[in-house]
Amino acid sequence: MIADGRQIYADQCAACHGVDLEGQPEWRRPPPSGRLPAPPHDESGHTWHHPDELLFRIVKESTASIVGGGYESDMPGFAGVMSDAEIRAVLD
């Protein structure tokens, strides 16, 4: 299952979050659009602080729909793209 998660990450996530989990440059600083760049998923980022269930919901539903309060993000929901099992495989 880990190999499956790595492949799904490469196919669905790496374009924004990086092949090596490095995220986008200047991910802490919003550009003029106000939308934060994709954060890293390694120890330099913040996603490891979040519980798996929150990360699951963000991937499935989108960051903006979970955070609310007018938060803007380019992170889409993947409910129509990835199954629950595929999302969990990526998180594992």
* Model pLDDT, residue 77: 96
**Distance separating alpha carbons of residues 39 and 75, to the nearest angstrom:** 10
Provide the whole-model pTM.
0.86
Structural domains of the chain in order of their starting residue, each with its CATH number: 2-91 (1.10.760.10)
Digitized pLDDT (tens) for each residue of the chain, 92 residues in all:
568 999 999 999 999 999 999 999 999 988 898 888 999 999 999 888 899 999 999 999 998 888 888 888 889 999 999 999 999 999 99
* Model pLDDT, residue 1: 59
